[in-house]
Chains A and B, each alone.
Chain A
Amino acid sequence: MEKPLDLIIESLLFASNKPLGVSEIHRCLPDVAPSDIKAALTDLQAAYDGMDRSFRLKEVAGGYQIRTQSAYAPYVLKMLKSSPSRLSRAALETLAIIAYKQPVIRQEIEQLRGVDAGGILRTLLEKDLIRVMGRKTIPGRPLIYGTTKRFLEVFDLKDLESLPKLKEFKDFGSGDETAVHMPEGDGQVGKPPQQEAEQVLLFPEDGEGPEA
């Protein structure tokens, strides 16, 4: 190889308009082992951090992407002549429900927020933050929603597992915590792991112990 690996990868990252995964880079550099690519990426990350530049190499949505640092947002926005993109609080809440409860149907979303979700779901679909994953095999065959890769990109997430951990309700004082979630599950301490994984994909539980 004529050029240093990390610089070749840097050029790809620099020119790419989407996060590049190790496998995509490997496709361009079939002779280089994926593990070497991964190592070079880590080196690049450390190098950028050390250089104190206005950008960083971030790991998002299963790939790597060069992104400006937030301190420079005002300048970039000026250059782009745009105002920062925002989601309404309602949209964020709906998105949060979908992210944590996916696969989820509209009725469950509406139950949790106590209001109609139709308009917001449309907006989120248009913004490509959520997608229809299929239909639930219950009467009415409602659509099932989940988040997209775009969601991970926008919210600076490596993968769904890196969603912020759910806070327990200890902060709210003396409460009866079994009342907080899975009200029917009161009797059983251990949850059927399979069902949990299916229904509530992403309650990250590591380090927190059993949830209820």
Chain B
Amino acid sequence: MDYEVKLEIFEGPLDLLLHLIHKNEVDIFDIPITTITDQYLAYLDMMKALNISVAGDFLVMAATLIHIKSKMLLPGSDEDEEEDPRDEITRPLLEYMRIKDIAQELSEREILGRDVFSRQDASWEDPEPEAEGPSLDVSLFQLIDAFRQIMEKTQPGSMSMNFRHEKWSIKEKARLILSLLRECPEMLFDEIFKGDREVPEFIVTFLALLELVHIGLVKVFQTSYKSRDIRLTANFDINGTEAFDEDLPLSTTNGSTHGETAGSDY
């Protein structure tokens, strides 16, 4: 069976590249193009495996990377004169890093409606914070990365998967995550996979988590930039009486082979 989860991914290829460069702790002015290209392509595969639709921008960058890689393999005719083929990505990456820096600085300011308040005009936010979509303070790549690590730890071997029959449903797993959060309103990302045994089960749990984030019942965040721990927190009244039994507004309905895409409104 197919689960198709479509998440709004604002992050583009540059984001993924930066993520890889940071992860490998390499110099942006001397990018090991082979390593980065391989990892980049592995990520695209990963996203495809999870049925996350890969935007065209990602594919264009993949082509660019492969092109650069092939250029690097060719013996340079005149090394002193020739431009480093990697400049094609270094330059936009540097620009992008600068933008991220500024964005970071902006977010650290005393923001009206978040840090400081003035009369009446309490905040500039929407009446319903959910209106703009669920908060995903952890990027999707980090989440996928964390998921991949769990898979590698617990399921060494291939990432291939076959959904032969329905043993687990997203709804069930979502309910399980919610009940875990009821007991402990804040937990580590790994903990929701504790009971899982088989590859599809892990994936169903992961998809359930994405769904819960999407409908705003769960928030995913990191305590700091440095910390690698991804945490989940309940975004609902844990003492509330809502049972979430039948009425979880999940877009991927249990049992349907072609789950409606989660982000249908995007």
B14 contacts chain A at the CB level, 8 A cutoff: yes
Pick from B119-127, B166-174, B193-201, B247-255 the stretch touching chain A: B119-127
A100 to chain B, nearest CB (A): 6
- The contact string, 1 if C-beta is below 8 Å from chain B, for chain A 148-165, is 001001111100000010
- The contact string, 1 if C-beta is below 8 Å from chain B, for chain A 27-66, is 0000000000000000000000000000000100000011
**Chain B count of residues within 8 A CB distance of the other chain:** 56
How distant is the Cα of A85 from the Cα of B125 in the complex, in angstroms? 5
- The contact string, 1 if C-beta is below 8 Å from chain B, for chain A 106-129, is 000001111110011001000111
Contact of B29 among A93, A119, A129, A175 (CB under 8 A): A175
In the complex, the answer to whether B116 meets A70 with C-beta atoms within 8 Å is yes
Among residues of B, the one whose C-beta sits closest to the C-beta of A126 is: B126
In the complex, the answer to whether A155 meets B100 with C-beta atoms within 8 Å is no
B71 contacts chain A at the CB level, 8 A cutoff: no
- The contact string, 1 if C-beta is below 8 Å from chain A, for chain B 118-142, is 1111111110010011011001000
B142 to chain A, nearest CB (A): 12
- The contact string, 1 if C-beta is below 8 Å from chain A, for chain B 95-128, is 1111111111111011111111111111111100
Pick from B73-81, B85-93, B157-165, B176-184 the stretch touching chain A: B85-93
B32 contacts chain A at the CB level, 8 A cutoff: no
In the complex, the answer to whether A119 meets B266 with C-beta atoms within 8 Å is yes
B51 to chain A, nearest CB (A): 20
Residues of chain B within 8 A of A114, CB atoms compared: 12-15, 57, 61, 92, 96
How distant is the Cα of A70 from the Cα of B224 in the complex, in angstroms? 19
In the complex, the answer to whether A112 meets B102 with C-beta atoms within 8 Å is no
Among residues of B, the one whose C-beta sits closest to the C-beta of A111 is: B92
Residues of chain A within 8 A of B100, CB atoms compared: 93
A15 to chain B, nearest CB (A): 7
Given contacts A15-B119, A173-B29, are A120 and B13 in contact (CB under 8 A)? no
In the complex, the answer to whether B101 meets A69 with C-beta atoms within 8 Å is no
Instruction: Name 9 extra pairs, CB < 8 A, besides A116-B57, A119-B8, A172-B29.
Output: A17-B118, A84-B113, A88-B133, A113-B12, A114-B12, A120-B10, A166-B98, A179-B90, A179-B94
Which residues of A does B touch, CB under 8 Å?
14-18, 58, 65-70, 73, 76, 80, 82-90, 92-93, 95-97, 99-100, 111-116, 119-120, 123, 127-129, 150, 153-157, 164, 166-167, 169, 172-176, 179-181, 183
A-B contact pairs, 5 of them (CB 8 A): A85-B113, A96-B99, A114-B61, A173-B29, A176-B29
